Structures are given as C-alpha cells and as structure tokens.
Structure 1
Amino acid sequence: MHSMSATYNRVDEYPMDDTLEYFIKFPSPNFKTESQGAESDYVFVCNETNVPIVLLLGWAGCQDKYLMKYSKIYEDRGLITIRYTAPVENLFWKRTAMVQIGEKILKLIYDMNFDSHPLIFHVFSNGGAFLYQHIALANRRSKKPVQICGMIFDSAPGDRRVLGLFRAISAILGKEKRFNSLISALMTISIILLWAFEDSCNYLRNFLRPWGYEVQTNPTHNLKSESNEWPQLFLYSKEDRLIPYTDVEKFAAYRRKCGVDVRMVCFDRSEHVKHYIRHPQQYVYSVCKFINDCLTTYYNKFHY
C-alpha cells in the first residue's frame, strides 16, 4: 500500500512506498525564475500538461544523496524525477525479490498516472541495469505497456566477472572497514557459488519448460536482445576498473545492429559512475541534448 502525505507538496520530496524507498520530485511551477542562478541553460522541448519523467536507478550500494545530485540536473530544467536504488542484498543474493520490485515500480508509474508521460530511464552501473531488466520484464507482461522514449546507460552494462564483482563489493564496504579485502573475497566467492547454482537451476527449469521466460543474471545477455528500439545513450570511460569499456562498446554495437539509435560518449580519465564529477559540463550537455532529441521525436510522433 502506498503512503502519501495529505500535505503533499509538489516541490518537496517524499518516500512513495512503505517497503520501497522511492523519491519523486516535481518541478516548481516557477522553476524558470527560481533557478536563475543554477545551471538552467538548457530548456527542454516540453508540453506543460505532459511533463517528461526521468527514472534514475542507482548503482549497487548507492546512497540517495549521491543519486540526488544527478536528478537535480533534470529538476533544474523542469522535469519530474523518480529515484530508486535496489537493496544490495536483492542485487547479489536474494535476487528473486527483484521481480516484485520491478512490478512495484511499474505499478507506481500507473498509480501516479505517469504512463501517459514521456519516460526516460537513466540507469547506473550493472545494479541499475539489473533493476531496469526487471522493470522491462514487468512492462512486457503488462496488458498496457508504458511507452519509453529514451534510455541512458551510465557506466553500464558489463559482463559478469569475478574481479569486477570483488571490486564492487570492496567499494560498497568502504576502505575504512577492517579486513575489507578478506571480507570482500569471501563474499565474492559465496556470491559466485550462489550464482552458479542459480544458473544451473535456470538451465534445468528452461530445459523442462522451454516455453518459459528466463530472466538472465547477466544484464548484457537479456538487454542486448530487447525488442524495443528507443534511442540509447552510453556514458563510459576507458579508466573504469569495474566495467571495461570494451563491454559497453560491444553492447552498444550490438544494439546498433538491431536498428537502435545509439549514441556514445567516452569520457577521459573518469572512474566508474564518476563521469559527472570529473566532467560536469560535458556530462550535462550530453544527457540534456540526448533527452531533448528523444522528446522532440516523441512529441512529433504523438502530435503534442
């Protein structure tokens, strides 16, 4: 059940669910005058009665205060934003819950009557890509699928690797934690064994029921074969130690062969999910131009 405050204010932020901590931010009616001192140099092609919505899906272990910095890029320019990061436990070991999480996020879109708005996803790392995979699954199963007009992959997606998993867990635990390397190594081994068991079960299940739909544990496998053709922007760096740039480029090349409008921005010397920190102007320009192009196509198509 959703819990919405009776004093809900369109310019403030509120958790939208008792069990899933969504945050939705509506732009102020006079955001153009309020943001005079901010980076409000980019004005989107926009219909005031059908304001675009950006859904930001955080990386594994992402704190909302960090995701908030990215959503502000869009809020300062008059767009509605939804922020959500899947719990670490559901990304790594209790992954069956991801199916329900994807369904709940899709239900949130319907409950807020956002399904008639142009939707853009901005996903970070494999954590965000893995979550999006389950939202997409719920959308395909829906009797009334929502229309998505664009997607941004930030430092994603990448193939599943032992070293990458170890580094991701180390980053989540933090350098200040004692015995970080040992704990990370033990957790990595445990998760790899768990994933191997899940893969075996999936293989057996699909062998017995070949007509069933298998949710891959590796985002690059499922997402590259999606039937959608909405534009996709890839933001990545050759200095990324968690997801190799070659994974991103191979995935993007495959999607391009599928007929998707693919755009790529390779940043210099920026770390994993830190392109905005090192290259703020280029980052903002890249995402804003991409979304504006997507919205132009969307509004022309539906004659708004």
Structure 2
Amino acid sequence: MADSGVRDTGLISIGKGIYLHKPLHNANHLENLNSKGRSQLAESLQPPTFILIFTWMGAKVPHLLKYSNVYSEIYPESTQIIVRSEPSFFWGSKSTKEAHLQPVVEALELLGCLPPVLNCSKLVREATIEPILPYPAPRVLVHAFSNGGSWQLSTLGDILSCRARSSQYATVKFLPTALVLDSCPGHGGINGTLRAFSGVIRSPILRGVAKFVIRLIYLYVALRRKFSFSRPRTALDHMKARLQSVDLLPWFSEDTPRLYLYSMKDDVVPYHEVEKHAEQTRALGFLVTQEKFADSPHVAHAKVYPQQYWGAIQTLWESASRVKEVTTSDG
C-alpha cells in the first residue's frame, strides 16, 4: 500500500518507508542555490547518477524532505532513493531485513545500476522507473545518518555482495563515488542507545520493553567479553567494519572518499567515537575528510550550520570527481 504521507511531496513510495525521487530534468537554472553555496566548479562536474539516503532512526517524511529538497536543488539531475530507519528493523531477522530493503535493490535494477533480475514488487513496477544507464556503472553519492542509517547501509552492502558476482558488473573505471557519514558511526554506550530508541517509541509500554531488551543485550555482551578469551564481534562491530570495506557497495573502490559530519555536543554518538572511526579509516588508505561542528545536536548539523554542512558535501563530490580525473590522466 502506498504511503499517503508523501502525497504532493515529489516522493514516490516504493516500499514501507522507502521512497524514490525522480530527477528534475528541466531544472537548468538554479537561482535558489546561492544560500547553499553551490560553486562554479560543482556546476561543471557531472552530478551523481543517484543519491542514496539512509535516515536516522525515527526520522519522519518532513525531516527527510529537508535533505531531499536541498539535494534536488544542488543536483537536480540526480535520482534519489531514500530509506527511513525504524526500530523494528534492528529487532528483525536477517531475512526480514533483506525483505525490507528489497525495493531498494529492485529500484536499482530498474534504473540500470545493478544487473537485472526477473521479478520485482508491484509498488516498484507502478513507479514506472526507467533505466538511466546502459550498464551497472553509476556515479554514486551515499548519505547515511546515525547508527540507524549506517546499519541499513551496511545491510544493503551485504545483500548486494551476495546477490551478484563482481564479474556481472561492467568493468568501467574512473566513475566518482562518495560516502557521507552524518553523526556516525560510534558506540554511545547504553545511555546513548537508550536515548536513540526512547526518542522514537511513543508507547510507554513498548518503550519500557525496548529499554529492558537493550539492557539485556548490553549485559550479555559484557558477560561474553569477560569470560571469552577473544573479544566477541558484535553487530555494531560488523557495521563499523563494513563501512571501512573497499567494496561497501559494488560501485565503491579504494578511491571512494569519506566525509564525517559530527558535533562535539552530540549526546547520542560521542564525537570521539566518530573521530576514532575516521582515523582508522584513514589508516586503511581511504581519503577521509572530517567536518566537526561546535554545538549542533545529533543529526541536526544542517539545521544549525547549513552553509558549512552543504558546502562540505559539495566539496566531497568535487573531491571524488577530481580523484577520478587525476586517475584517468595518470592512467
């Protein structure tokens, strides 16, 4: 059933909490972008073929529209796929998580960004998605918010890595890809996790159950670490490591730059956790940029510092494109 909450927003519901925003083909003059700091260089670069956005847990349509609309202004030629994050995703089984993200996979197939399969859901078919590429070699910008969005991104990466062999993707080099990590990843401890879940569960009863389960999980992990000779690998550990993999998504490479956006006043994911992950990623050989904000709350940096925030994202895409241009000329 289509999501009535996106009516008249430009978003097309293709699954539960998953939306498609088609490119604005006729938007050649972008008078409204001066406040966002769009540079002349950005106008001369090829835009992303598609922008994949994974929201923070509990984000509503009005929240995600604030980001989708700006992306439409900066890159009007880009298709957007937006995935909302809900608490139920984290309690689900592996098969449930894969089924939840299946519309994303199907949409990417129909866009020509993945090798095709035969079947797709009714909602995706009704979205009348047309291929935008003759082969699976898109220019990709990915934006993940908080641990919730990062978790879904890493899950999608796992799905796509199992779905097709690398030989099924066209061997096309020099296409820019970039990753934005907003307020993530990090381990906020039990208090940060409780705040993240408590803020999005309205029912006092369900909120109490969630808090109880979270405390049990933390107790279980603590006991395993205490009585195990080797440090047990948690789901959060897997997610953080997946974000540092060369093939996080099938179009990514060692040249894919990462941008970390975070704040010293984040009370859900501490800034030193984000910085630790950024330093580890840089040590692995990736191009890493960090944009630290002084006092913006969790996932609210764009609201408090819009020019700095969107300027950093545009600079990231310019950097990704320059890396490919240099690689092409050297090759």
Name the TM tier (shorter chain): 0.7 to 0.9
Q: Which amino acid aligns with 1:77?
A: I
- 1:94 positional shift: 1.6
Q: Which amino acid aligns with 1:63?
A: K
Aligned residues: 275
CA contact (8 A) 1:16 1:24 kept: no
- 1:189 positional shift: 1.8
Distance in 1 (CA, whole Å) between partners of 2:308 and 2:70 is 12
Distance in 2 (CA, whole Å) between partners of 1:199 and 1:111 is 45
SS in 1 for 2:18: coil
RMSD, aligned CA: 3.4
Q: What residue number does 2:53 align with?
A: 56
CA deviations on 1:91-126 (whole Å, 9 max, x unpaired) are: 2x1242223334542332121124432001100000
Q: Which amino acid aligns with 1:216?
A: A
| Unaligned 5+ runs, structure 2 | 3-7, 114-135, 224-232, 248-253
CA contact (8 A) 1:23 1:84 kept: no
Overall identity of the aligned pairs, in %: 20
Q: What residue number does 2:119 align with?
A: none
Q: Which amino acid aligns with 1:112?
A: L
Q: What residue number does 1:208 align with?
A: none
Q: Which amino acid aligns with 2:212?
A: I
Distance in 1 (CA, whole Å) between partners of 2:104 and 2:221 is 24
Distance in 1 (CA, whole Å) between partners of 2:283 and 2:181 is 18
- 1:185 positional shift: 4.8
Q: TM-score, normalised by structure 1?
A: 0.77
- Aligned ranges 1:1-304 → 2 under 5 Å: 13-19=10-16, 21-33=18-30, 35=32, 39=36, 41-43=38-40, 44=42, 45-47=44-46, 51-79=48-76, 80=78, 81-91=80-90, 93-96=91-94, 97-114=96-113, 115-141=136-162, 142-143=164-165, 144=168, 149-159=177-187, 161-173=189-201, 184-193=207-216, 216-218=235-237, 220-223=239-242, 225-228=244-247, 229=254, 230-298=256-324, 301=327
Distance in 1 (CA, whole Å) between partners of 2:157 and 2:198 is 29
Residues 300 and 22 of structure 1, relative CA distance in 2, 3 Å threshold:
farther
SS in 1 for 2:143: strand
Residues 235 and 253 of structure 1, relative CA distance in 2, 3 Å threshold:
same
Q: Which structure is higher in RCO with an 8 Å CA cutoff and minimum separation 6?
A: 2
Moved more, 133-142 or 61-70: 133-142
Q: TM-score, normalised by structure 2?
A: 0.71
- 1:149 positional shift: 1.1
Distance in 1 (CA, whole Å) between partners of 2:301 and 2:180 is 13
- 1:246 positional shift: 1.0
- 1:269 positional shift: 0.6
CA deviations on 1:53-90 (whole Å, 9 max, x unpaired) are: 22111001011211111122221023422211133211
